[in-house]
A and B are shown apart, each in its own frame.
Chain A
Amino acid sequence: MSLSTSLTIALAIFGLALIYKVSTWFRYKIGIQSIEIRTSERVFSALKGILLTVFSPKILTLLKVFVLDVLLQLRILKEDFLRWFMHLCIYGGFMLLLLMHALDKYITVALFNNYYPTINPFMFLRNLFGVFVILGVAIAIYRRFILKVPRLITNAMDIYTIIIVAVIMLSGIFLEATKMVAYSDYQRMVNEYSGLSDPQELKALEAYWVKEFGTVSPNLKGPFDEKILAQGRDLHQSSCAECHAKPQWAFAGYGTAKVISPIGLKIDRARLPSLLWYLHVLACWVGLAYLPFSKMFHIFTSQLSLLANSVMEKGKSFPANIATRQVMELDACTHCGTCSLRCSVAIVFDEIPNINILPSEKIASVKALASGKKLSPQALRNIQEGVYLCTNCYRCTVVCPVGINLQDLWFNVRETLLQKGYPEFFALSPLSFYRGLMREQTVRKDYEKPLIRAREAIASQCDLMKRKEKVLPLTPADRPFQSGLNLSAQARTFSVCFGCQTCTTVCPVVSNYDNPQEALGLLPHQIMHAAGLGLRDLAFGSNMLWDCLTCYQCQEQCPQGVSVTDVLYELKNLAIKHVRERAL
């Protein structure tokens, strides 16, 4: 397959994928608000929004963000110097190589009429930029595989990306090095450019190149006579120097050439330079074709995300554009893991091994969800639990280096998933406080549904609550349950309850109702009693458990020292554990 065919294929994949990806920004829907908005309206709003922004004072904000966050990447610097340095090495080095070296025919030649890849400063800069990228990749490997930053997850895409970039860079350097030692490359240059034919002159030039340029010759070996070298130097000056700088300037390639020179002849015989050339170029094509499918796509999308988020505001921007931006942001994620490092509840992942707790991983699940991929009920429940296990502290959004509004994303995904009908038991915790504050932005008629569903799912497991006429045996029914109430030392204290009802009397929730038993089921003293008797169903099935304020009035005033509130806490833990295990 010729090179131009492979390039065409790579470009075609890249182009088609790009078109497909961009189309998803306008087609995929995240959140209840975006369901009603049609694709055509989103395209139209996007154009309108862009025009209105560009021709308004907001253009200054865009310029500022472009310089500070896109070019200088100050958001990464704020997080971590090492990461900023790493990314700048990779991105700076790669972009400069792309412009100066890969696209030299189009850009560098147009700018510098004396351009030649083997003269300075181009030869030196090519090496310098390459070394930048390699240094950056080395730091990336160090962070991900040696330093082992806690909760920084490395997935296949991260590894592929590192491999592709590393192969491009290393093959480039080895290519340069093998060309330096390869005798046939030397001969080709002599034939093409020197115009020499006198054997003595050719020998002198070759000697000079063997000594100074690292060429490995099958005919000549040093040390050489000073006179021959002087003649070779003169010939070099007149025939070669104009378009060939000293190889030492290509320090990475030259250094490598020195290392491999003992096998220089074999390298040449095996035509390694042309093999490496193919490897180098093909790796570039692979990278190009893979780019829209990988985290490398952020080269385009992260800028869009940063710029869009700097001028867009919920409530002010067109809702259609917010819907579009949210899908686009999914493609801007670089899987850098900053959100997970700063996440307020990331530590929970150590106890509850649901990967969707970590924002950096949650976003991949949201991507699958948005694409309309058929997910198993189990997967959906895991995502739902992951997005619910969030204190809505906004930290992920504040620290995201590409400015993704993760907080809004979680909120929208949460509300959509909650309406799918799987009970979310974590909704019965103060994690719901934020949802309460945001209730105006949920679908009002469905706001209560998830809360009722979770309570019902728990109550449905409690047979005794449903069959009130059932006669109970006098011996405790569930000893493991009884002895299971021992998470914190306090919770065992229920056994000393003598039923004085002080807890119930002082409970502000109980006193809020005219008929508390109807609203709450078992009252606090009855729950203590049920725990004492090991009647799990009665303890789990009461609304009182989930309506407890945890104000600790009961516990403070108990004459027997029963840690009533703590017992209620533990019963809630056990109930959730029980139903979660059954649901999974």
Chain B
Amino acid sequence: MEYAVFLGCNIPARLNQYETSTRAVLEKLGVGWVDIRDFNCCGYPLRNIDFKVFLLSSARNLALAEKRRLNVMALCKCCYGSLKKADYLMKDNASLRQEVNKTLEKEGLRYEGGVEVKHYLPVLYHEVGLTSIKEKVKKPFKGLKIATHYGCHALRPSQIVQFDDPVSPSLFDQLVEVTGAESITWPMKLECCGAPLWGIHDELSTDLTLKKLKNGRESGADYVCAACTYCQIQFDTVQQMILSQRGLNHPLPSILYPQLLGLSMGIDSGTLGLKMNKIPISEIEQLQTEQVEIPA
């Protein structure tokens, strides 16, 4: 099991803890990680501007992975959604494929559709499996309530992304519960985090983010858990900005899934970059218990 890991633009620049924590977790679970330095933008921010530009940018990544005969594993759900969409179009639409490949061939690349794009949550769920993950959980949480945030671009359009059941997904909740935490039921679980409009229409973005986080807090969550770059930055960096702007207190801190899983596996908080989160999450460690080894 080896993947070309797609980090995208934001993780190396401003969410380094996502990379370090995922690396640490995947290493323990035996999932191989290959870096392709030539990867470029997934195309997501370019979709508003020009469809062709989006497709070209996205497909170039798929071509690079195909050249190395690797499947792609995305950490960001917007990257995932974009790559999935591009993959779908390149497989489905011969004339588009031809047009894109004509440009890619200028640098000796082409995409024939031989790559599977996955997000790392389904990789953990389907390929590593809950049982194998559970074996590695050494310091499970107790009494921790987590609000899982699925992320729009992972769930929808379901026909293309095929992540989980778009109406009542459960994959992420099960992955959270493996760590001993409780995944709460909350009405706005499948709603947008607000990030797509941050920088375009901040008022609206703020409204949506606060509404969602308030709903999570009121439903009893201690933390919201994200597995997407944009969602995490929105819930962490942006939440901190907007709370101070609107003079509000009581954040609902956000923890990245690999940070949560990593802690339960006993990986040290430095590697997981807990301190790099803008809204402090270190208190979560107090809810961990030492697993008592039962002699066989």
Contacts and interface: CB of A to CB of B under 8 A. Distances in A.
B282 interface: no
Nearest to A490: B157
Given A431-B45, A489-B93, A393 B12 contact: yes
Interface string B58-71: 00100000000000
Contacts of B195: 430, 433
Contact of A555 (B49, B56, B156, B230): B156
Contacts of B89: 488-489
Contacts of A550: 47, 152-153, 196
B12 A350 contact: no
Interface string A359-386: 0000000000000000000000000000
Interface string A282-318: 0000000000000000000000000000000000000
A394 B12 contact: yes
B284 interface: no
Contact of A573 (B12, B51, B198): B51
Contacts of B201: 451, 546-547
Interface stretch (B127-135, B169-177, B202-210, B246-254): B202-210
Interface residues of B, number: 57
Interface in B174-201: 191-192, 194-201
A261 B160 CA distance: 74
Interface stretch (A87-95, A211-219, A232-240, A434-442): A434-442
A107 interface: no
Secondary structure call for the A interface: helix
A157 interface: no
B49 A549 contact: no
Nearest to B233: A437
B50 A352 contact: yes
Interface string A540-571: 00000011011111011000000101100110
Contacts of A556: 155-158, 166
A239 to B, nearest CB: 62
B31 interface: no
A70 B222 CA distance: 50
A551 B150 CA distance: 12
B265 interface: no
A577 interface: yes
A432 B197 CA distance: 9
Nearest to A349: B53
B103 interface: yes
Given A347-B56, A551-B196, A508 B48 contact: no
B107 interface: yes
Interface stretch (A111-119, A421-429, A460-468): A421-429
A572 interface: yes
B166 A569 contact: no
Contact of B153 (A352, A427, A552): A552
Interface residues of A, number: 58
A345 interface: yes
Interface string A22-40: 0000000000000000000
Interface in B105-147: 106-107
A150 interface: yes
Nearest to A342: B37
A347 B57 contact: yes
Contacts of A487: 51-52
Nearest to B207: A512
B13 interface: yes
Contacts of B156: 551-553, 555-556
A382 to B, nearest CB: 15
A348 interface: yes
- Most A CB within 10 A of own CB, among B156, B195, B200, B204: B200
B230 A433 contact: yes
B281 interface: no
Interface in B54-102: 56-57, 60, 78, 89, 92-93, 96
Nearest to B212: A508
A516 B139 CA distance: 49
Contacts of A427: 200
Chain A to chain B: the 9 pairs with minimum beta-carbon distance, closest first: A436-B199, A432-B199, A552-B156, A393-B9, A429-B48, A430-B45, A391-B9, A551-B152, A551-B192
Interface of B: 9-10, 12-14, 37, 40-41, 44-53, 56-57, 60, 78, 89, 92-93, 96, 103, 106-107, 152-153, 155-158, 166, 191-192, 194-202, 204-205, 207-208, 211, 230, 233, 237-238, 241
Interface of A: 150, 342-348, 350-352, 391-395, 398, 425-437, 439-440, 448, 451, 487-489, 508-509, 512, 546-547, 549-553, 555-556, 563, 565-566, 569-570, 572-573, 576-577
14 contacts: A350-B106, A351-B50, A430-B196, A432-B200, A435-B199, A437-B237, A488-B93, A512-B211, A547-B204, A549-B152, A551-B156, A552-B156, A555-B156, A569-B51
Given A350-B103, A436-B202, A573-B51, 4 more contacts: A344-B9, A345-B57, A489-B92, A551-B192
